[in-house]
A and B are shown apart, each in its own frame.
Chain A
């Protein structure tokens, strides 16, 4: 009967109840969207970082990470590459020679990081071939081709087809230079990165650099993303004289961003719940104060204070739980639609690119979010019900009945 009374009481003032139910629906809908947005941005950010920069795992000589000196190559690189190719769970790998140099164009010069790669291996690991905006990706058998960032080309005031000079120190410390022809301009989505890294072929670079087949970095891509850390740990044991890092260790900012996204989502959720609490308290207080006489009669005929308390709590919970499934369904539909179609932020591309983020966001949400939001709404309603229910039990039947 308490349930019946509570349910029917909700609809006594239909408009007031619908307002609070509407607030709950909109709150949950908004939270679903915001959290999916945050999660989507986080996932895109991580995916972009992995695809454009770090890959899943990187292997270096420990000293190379402290000082990017040419002498700190991975010893017996070829043997290690062979062992990696036989390791379970690894999809592809790319061996990179990395050194600092200067790119000299007819009018402008700039310091860059030179990466000498096997083009076919590199595309397996970081999809650079898909980032080409102008020209192509080492497709022609031209002599000494080079691929540079689009933003670097703008800085150097140079185009595809033109020649540039790369100056650097070889493995023996000798200053040397090579002329390269620009065959392609790439854009990774991170303009700062694009300005700083140039790609050449190992076959063109290595004889002049004199690295004798050893490389500075091996980038690894795994088959199952969820197994990245496990595989990295295993590789660290196998190659215990080398530094094996997963993508979060390579770029700690990833974890920071991920934590920030999650924390922001939690803060926003908390703020919305607090706002809901006050809205519900206000609504239920009004409901109690309007029914002072009725509550007095209930106590007069023998309804004890515990049942009165319980009736108000149940009414509050029912009021909140009416809106919950509707909000969840709307939130779910919105997330599914946006995950499929994405949100186009190309008008903010320049700014997002500075942070290494794509301009197309695909919101996504962990299904457990809907469980946690349901629990949050339930406890929010429960908390909100306490004061109005307490107020109701403090009524004295004789005073309540005599209230006009």
Chain B
């Protein structure tokens, strides 16, 4: 392959990668005798449309990796690109802006804003983006229906079950049209049926809308549904299996 073709091919690959992490290191308390090397040279590329589970025992660096991918933390060493943008050197405020427009979050504890209704929780991120009211209304209705709780739009989180709240969280994560959705133990607080329903919704969105999902999970049911499973052990990738 000549140099030009190689260059164009690399550009194409770069464009297909939603997440590209190279040689990620993260050390906590680096100058202390009890320094913790949470990540020790992790390389990951996640492409658009992937349904990836990151697994590993406690202390493997799973949460640390997710925090860095999600722009919630910076690596000690290495680079992390999201949608082709290097976020490893962004300031706190720049990361906030970046997350708003590029990353959707689903948390273990749902973390909806308790004083807002389901509809308002989904609209909230779009409001931060400065979208028009008509656009917000249309997208909110579309998303709440897509996750199966269109009839509960006016309910506050305390009036919804755990499963319903997590569906709202998924809708909120998708509201900003992010490059990918980061889900940290999304099924940990759900019963079996709610877990199955949630995974069905996410899988459907993945297949039909090509939305990229990255999970951190201990839940085997999630692992079983994932198309790619990355295993972390002691801060390093132990295995990376595509199905």
Contacts and interface: CB of A to CB of B under 8 A. Distances in A.
Interface of A: 1, 4-5, 8-9, 12, 293-294, 297-305, 307, 396-398, 401
A396 B92 CA distance: 9
Contacts of B111: 293-294, 297, 401
Contacts of B109: 293
Contacts of A300: 70, 72, 99, 105
A398 B73 contact: yes
Given A304-B97, A398-B67, A12 B115 contact: yes
Nearest to A1: B127
B115 A304 contact: no
Interface in B150-176: 172, 176
Contact of A303 (B72, B73, B101, B128): B128
Top 4 closest A-B pairs, CB basis?
Answer: A302-B100, A8-B115, A297-B111, A398-B72
B195 to A, nearest CB: 22
B132 interface: no
Nearest to A6: B115
A9 B115 contact: yes
A336 to B, nearest CB: 39
Given A8-B116, A297-B107, A398-B73, 6 more contacts: A4-B116, A294-B114, A300-B99, A300-B105, A302-B97, A401-B107
Contacts of A397: 72, 96
Interface in B61-84: 67, 70, 72-73
Interface residues of B, number: 28
Given A300-B99, A301-B100, A302-B96, A5 B113 contact: yes
Most buried by A among B67, B115, B128: B115
A1 B72 CA distance: 24
A297 B100 CA distance: 12
A2 to B, nearest CB: 9
Contacts of B114: 12, 294
Nearest to A398: B72
B29 interface: no
Contacts of B123: 1
B85 to A, nearest CB: 15
Interface of B: 67, 70, 72-73, 92-93, 96-97, 99-101, 105, 107, 109, 111, 113-116, 120, 123-125, 127-129, 172, 176
A5 B116 contact: yes
Contacts of B72: 300, 397-398, 401
A304 B99 contact: no
Nearest to A2: B127
A288 to B, nearest CB: 15
29 contacts: A1-B120, A1-B123, A4-B116, A8-B116, A12-B114, A12-B115, A293-B111, A294-B111, A294-B113, A297-B105, A297-B107, A297-B113, A300-B99, A300-B105, A301-B99, A301-B100, A301-B124, A301-B125, A301-B128, A302-B99, A302-B100, A302-B129, A303-B128, A304-B96, A304-B97, A304-B128, A305-B92, A397-B72, A401-B111
Contacts of B107: 297, 401
A119 to B, nearest CB: 76
Contact of A302 (B92, B120, B176): B176
A304 B93 contact: yes
B107 to A, nearest CB: 7
A129 B67 CA distance: 90
A3 to B, nearest CB: 12
Nearest to B124: A1
Most buried by B among A293, A301, A307: A301
Given A12-B115, A398-B73, A299 B96 contact: yes
